A and B are shown apart, each in its own frame.
Chain A
Amino acid sequence: MELNYLSIQEAVEGLKKKSFSALELTRACLKQVKSIDKKINAFLTLNEEGALQNAKKADELIHTSNAIFDSRPLLGIPMGLKDLYTTEKLRTTAGSKIIENYIPPFDATVVRKYKEAGAVFLGKTNEDAWGHGSSGENSDYGPTRNPYDLDRVPGGSSSGSGAAVASGECLIATGTDTGSSVRLPAVYCNLVGLKPTYGRVSRYGVIAMASSFDTIGHMTHTVYDNAKVLEVTAGQDPHDATSSPLKVPKYTSYLGKDIKGLKIGIPKEYIVEGMDPRVKDLTLQAIEKLKSLGATVKQISLPHTDVAMACYYILVPSEVSSNLARYDGIRYGGPRELFGAEAKRRIMLGAYTLSSGYYDAYYLKAAKVRRLIKQDFENVFKEVDVIVAPSSPSLPFKIGEKANDPLQMYLSDIFLCPMNIAGVPSLNVPCGFIDGLPVGMQIIGPHFQEEILYQVGYKFEQETEYYKTRPKL
């Protein structure tokens, strides 16, 4: 078994048994990066020296006792960090030329948590600049390519992270999900990707896109791995006033629990004409599989689905225009001329919707529609335990296909952005392949009930084992 394609669970077992060392594991990942990243462009900054040091330190700790994994559950595990995550002394660019040379003086809270859990930081991954995008094509450093088909996009904005895990460059990679950006690369790269509940994971030190939408997520090969990582990242943070004081459950303890009698709702607004019919069929087959595992399935309605995108594209650019105002080229970074086209579009759109005379018609109106969309979800969760829906209306598209049509690009998020509007958690789980390209479905739950998503996802994954498929590189 190639070490760089192990799951976190397998890697930890192997490290405990001394089948291989943490140094060997990190070296295997670094070797893969050097071998293929020229083709994939997943990494912006490689932390080779730091990673080897982390790995050596991990080996020292593992030699003291295997019990060390109780307090450091990710000890020795090589990971990628989306370049929106502030990492002390390690260049952080947000995928943008504006902060091309920015070396942060501090760590984001989640970065500190990953460090304390013993993870090995392989490097910073490529992304659509500032999180603005669904394909990775808005990176100022060139697009990342999908390991399953190098002519296609890996999904965005956490494009590098998705491609890095899928191509065996690391075992887990982080992302942010403001409107789709963990789940879409997860679906296009055959990974399990989590958008947590807003407030479940601290946003401190993760470069802000839209502060009432941003969530801090991650991508892994398996459901177990994903749940294990959330145990590390979740929790209240005094540095983030929007982080929840709710206790963090032991998510991995829910895996293997039955789903007999669990009520699943399928939103009728998500099974629509405009979808690729093959994707629709595969998703419906996955739902049948959930039924065969004992769940009951019924049709539900999320009536304001058709206006979710419009609501999103008023509120998010408004918050973006405010968050990007800090890039004045004075305290850090270069001049504002360095912003790419998509960043400029969103900043100006936000300036428009927030400007005097337009604020009520656009921003305030959208904030009210947001209430209605949130209520749609809350009402549905009175009838069902989880919602299952397709993650993407189409297969991963070709690089360049939507690049000249911003509105078309925005519509890739159509099934994904409503969850950010409502703040509910959603987990992408692979559900098959069409012409060798991955398809995924999302499992959506009530606020702060990620454990149910993992419970359902795990049962499905164990039956189908799509994580065993690898891209042919």
Chain B
Amino acid sequence: MAKKILSRVEILHLADLAKLKLTEEEIEKFRVQLSEIIGYIEQLNRVDTENVEPVAQLTDLTNISREDTSSEAQSLTQAQTLQNAKTAKDGYIRVEALFTE
């Protein structure tokens, strides 16, 4: 079976999906390394998983919920929420413009 080799275009696509900016050197380095890793994980194909239920989560717990009320224990004040945001101003976090004229 031919080993999967990622192309430069595929690496750029993944970087875009993941919002990562890569240098030229990184693009090539990761292309080689990721191809090798994907080549390794392809061995899962030889496992027979017909009629096997996938695992979504390991606990047997279902429908764990709480009352739909606010609790001080699970809330932060506005000041706490903003304390690590570099662009905090007037109680808001400023972000880059999404729409430009």
Contact = CB atoms under 8 A, between A and B. Distances in A.
Tell me whether chain A's interface is mostly helix, strand or loop, or mixed.
Answer: helix
Given A105-B76, A330-B87, A352-B34, A307 B43 contact: yes
A29 to B, nearest CB: 30
B9 interface: no
Contacts of B19: 325, 328, 336
Given A103-B83, A241-B64, A307-B43, A355 B59 contact: no
Nearest to A352: B14
A103 B85 CA distance: 11
A301 interface: no
Contacts of B41: 310, 313-314, 362, 366
A102 interface: yes
Interface in B68-85: 73-74, 76, 80-81, 83-85
Contacts of B11: 348
B3 interface: no
Interface stretch (A134-142, A275-283, A370-378): A370-378
Interface residues of B, number: 49
Interface in A325-362: 325, 328, 330-333, 336-337, 339, 341, 344-345, 347-352, 355, 361-362
Chain A interface extent, by class: 35 or more
A304 interface: yes
Given A331-B84, A371-B52, A212 B37 contact: no
A93 interface: no
A105 B53 CA distance: 40
B58 to A, nearest CB: 4
A20 interface: no
B44 A212 contact: no
Interface of A: 101-103, 105-106, 198-199, 212, 238-239, 241-242, 244-245, 304, 307, 309-311, 313-314, 321, 325, 328, 330-333, 336-337, 339, 341, 344-345, 347-352, 355, 361-362, 364-372, 374, 406-407, 410, 422-423
Interface of B: 6, 10-11, 14-15, 17-22, 26, 29-30, 33-34, 36-38, 40-45, 47, 49, 52-59, 61, 64, 66, 73-74, 76, 80-81, 83-85, 87, 93, 95
